[in-house]
Structure 1
């Protein structure tokens, strides 16, 4: 399909490491502005682009005059932080968490620049979040957009239905000053079916099986790797396109005890662990903990899509066949980041609360695992962006 030569441009707010931006760029958008507060995520965003217009700043500190210069922009896209009402944080959910209200900054920019299209992503729990006044947060967003003249289509999808090798259920919303593009109009799975894949879902091993084996404590930070296997399907070929080396593929420095534990989980299951390999009570390693955490140390089933890659996934999943947790690169593959997309900052850090307690404030940033887990899968963003760009260029057909 031929389009006019006019460039289409979105502003990406809360851009993170750039997953949504990458998808929109691959669909033909040029992004004149991205905003992100985190140092390490900005490094990743900036260093993966020849011409990057990302600014590192708290959106609360950016005044109206700055955004007004982008008045009439084609689109505003982004995912306001969701930690305050994510199900993964349900045990520590705080109705007063300031991150719960950053969506109002998203709305502020929309009101200032009045884009033709708005595209927003968030956790599915956003549809249930209740504000202190008793109203639903989503209702406030929809009301504000309708007041500005937008027509709106919210929807919830599973990324696995769109060829992403991961069960990732997320909320999306598209709003338009004109006809609202139906982002679900196309078949949910339109990729060429690989002969090695037995069903329409892309299983996790078909996404990562060509990556070289790596072993705990045998590699140094910053090491890169060469491909030692040929790609066996279209997804692997796509992920390797334009990449000569493999980055971010360093495994965690597991102890011998942890490796043995992972091996037994693989061969016999977690319930059969002997006493010497069972988890210890926090603060007293001499006592065995009777607590179980369903999100930790899960051996990934190689024949199914991966469970959701979250910001803290590094201790959640064990490689299907190797006795270690996933590497950043394997998780990036599962999130559909290409191999030439390099993540910066430290690979992993302590929790923010523990870092602050220890006074290590220089590390209170989004590490590589956080950046990958927080991102919108680029291939998923590209699928939706390709429909949005048709709408913006007048080629959308109901």
Structure 2
């Protein structure tokens, strides 16, 4: 049987793409952000997309999906759980309530399996004062008849050429018949060594600061690796490949920064960038692609920051995948100040950095399919 899935907080569609590549039919998805939803809709035309807040989905409509959905997947926004965000100041952002919204959908749909992705901070975060996120999630799933498990996965172990450690709460209605952890295929003890940064992006058209185009650009070389060949499948070139505009002074600074460093030398001494402009090392995986990566990293050999397409390659999005919306966006505070709050959507850089790498999602999907089809029968649903 082919499993059918619902993807909540779908973003630009990385999780959906990986599940689809594994053989799961994602028939329904939900996303509230306008630009991320545009990206999703363009790349997943056969999936019915519900635009808007997941908390506004009518419960009766969801219950009608009982017996039709085998997997509820998704990643409630992680800003409230990341130790790099407002949590470090003791605040509990509204996003934390979306975990409960996710679990409400699970209660209504009652799928065979559940897959929830989040950052490592989810282990110790609070949904609200006195209510810890992970124990709450496990208890709620158990009360619904599921057996939950916690997986901590490093993306590089599954062919992703960039570091990304994430946790996944997976749950089976009834009980697990096998360990849901996908077997690593790259790294220590695996058949393949981790993919490197340049193994992923060295074939993309070379750009200087300010060069490139959002539209299709033809390839300027043959692929140099099997990974690059796989990323080119179904495409005659690349889109979303635009270099940030840097001043001549900044480019000169970048020229002095060696791989693995974020410092530059000048007549005034040595200056170190504290949290951005680190030059990536070409022969190892990239550092983690975050939602604000546009100024985090310098290309391994070119003197500029990464393009959206290069980051997409590092996150395992194929070249045929087109990202919608603006490439970058000024801060929400500035937009509010200028009366442009309606423009506060997720930029291409945000969308890519927020996503689940499709290859990691594929590994999870293949493992869930194997468990679901290995004599696993769907339990009889009991109204609660």
Q: Do both share a fold (TM > 0.5)?
A: yes
1:121-165 deviation per Cα after TM superposition (whole angstroms, max 9, x unaligned): 100110011344434210000000001111111021211122211
Compare 343-352 and 130-139 and name the one that shifted more: 130-139
Distance (Å, rounded) in 1 between the aligned partners of 2:87 and 2:70? 39
Provide Cα deviations, 1:158-190, integer angstroms capped at 9, x if missing partner.
111222111111111210014424232524439
Q: 1:242 aligns with which of 234, 248, 251?
A: 234
| 1:171 aligned counterpart, secondary structure | strand
Is 1:228 the counterpart of 2:224 in the alignment?
no
User: Would you say 1:71 and 2:51 are equivalent positions?
Assistant: no
Aligned counterpart, 1:331: 311
Q: d(CA) in 2 for partners of 1:132 and 1:267?
A: 42
TM alignment of 1:30-41, pairs within 5 A: 30-41=25-36
Name the CA shift for 1:383/1:93 in 2 (closer, same or farther; >3 Å): farther
Structure 2 residue 246 is matched with structure 1 residue 254: yes
* Partners of 1:257 and 1:277 within 8 A in 2: no
Structure 2 vs 1, CA of residues 242 and 249 (structure 1 numbering), >3 Å: closer, same or farther?
Answer: same
Distance 1:11 1:93, change over 3 A: farther
Q: Aligned-pair distance for 1:204?
A: 0.8
C-alpha distance in 1, partners of 2:102/2:259? Answer: 48
8 A Cα contact 2:181 2:367, kept in partner: no
After TM superposition, give the deviation of residue 96 of structure 1 in Å.
Answer: 3.1
Cα distance, 1:267 vs structure 2: 8.4
Compare 134-143 and 376-385 and name the one that shifted more. 134-143
Q: What secondary structure, in the 3-state scheme, does the structure 2 residue paired with 1:174 have?
A: strand
TM-aligned CA deviation for residue 212 of structure 1: 1.2
Structure 2: gaps spanning 5 or more residues: 377-384
Aligned residue pairs: how many? 372
1:386 aligns to 2:359 (yes or no): no
- The CA deviation at 1:63 is 2.0
Is there any run of 5+ residues in structure 1 with no aligned partner, and where?
1-5, 280-291
1:250-329 superposed matches below 5 A:
250-266=242-258, 270-274=262-266, 294-329=274-309
Distance 1:153 1:200 in 2: 28
The answer for the alignment partner of 2:136 in structure 1 is 140
| Deviation per residue, 1:263-312 (Å, 9 max, x gap) | 12238965443268998xxxxxxxxxxxx653200000111111110100
Cα deviation, residue 112, structure 1: 0.5
8 Å CA contact 1:18, 1:375 repeated in 2: yes
- RMSD across aligned C-alpha pairs, in angstroms? 2.3
Matched, 1:182 2:191: no
Distance 2:279 2:182 in 1: 35
Between the aligned partners of 2:75 and 2:50, the Cα distance in structure 1 is: 16
Task: Say if 1:103 and 1:91 are closer, same or farther in 2 by CA, change over 3 A.
Answer: closer
Contact 2:160 2:359 (C-alpha < 8 Å) held by counterparts: yes
Return the alpha-carbon distance in structure 1 between the equivalents of residues 104 and 24 of structure 2.
23
Show CA shifts across 1:70-121 (max 9, x none).
Answer: 1121010000001012133257655331001100000000000110000111
> Contact 1:85–1:93 (CA<8 Å) still a contact in 2?
no
How far apart, in 1, do the equivalents of 2:39 and 2:131 lie? 37
After superposition, give the CA deviation of every residue in 1:309-353 in whole Å (9 maximum; x if it has no partner): 010000000000000000000000000000000100000001222
Candidates 28, 43, 46, aligned match of 1:48: 43
Give the Cα–Cα distance (whole angstroms) in 2 for the partners of residues 321 and 99 of structure 1.
38
2:80 partner SS: helix
What residue is the counterpart of 2:379 in the other structure? none
Match of 2:104 in 1: 108
Q: Secondary structure at the match of 1:100?
A: helix
Report the secondary structure of 1:54's partner residue. strand
Hey, what's the Cα distance between the residues in 2 that align with 1:226 and 1:395? 48
Relative to its length, the structure with more strand (as a share) is 2
Query: TM-score, normalised to structure 1's length?
Result: 0.88
Structure 1 residues 173-211: Cα deviation after superposition (integer angstroms, max 9, x where no partner):
210014424232524439xx99xxxx7111111111111
User: Do the aligned partners of 2:117 and 2:166 also contact (CA within 8 Å) in 1?
Assistant: yes
Q: CA–CA distance in 1 between the matches of 2:300 and 2:324? A: 26
The 2-side partners of 1:103 and 1:167 are apart by 25
Residue 97 of structure 2 contacts residue 127 of structure 2 at CA under 8 Å; is this kept in 1? no
Instruction: Look up the match of 2:381.
Output: none
Q: Quick one: distance in 2 between partners of 1:258 and 1:136?
A: 44
| 3-state SS of paired residue (2:160) | coil
User: The residue matched to 1:77 in structure 2 has which SS?
Assistant: strand
Task: Tell me if the contact between 1:249 and 1:329 (Cα under 8 Å) persists in the aligned partners.
Answer: yes
- Contact 2:39–2:323 under 8 Å retained in 1: yes
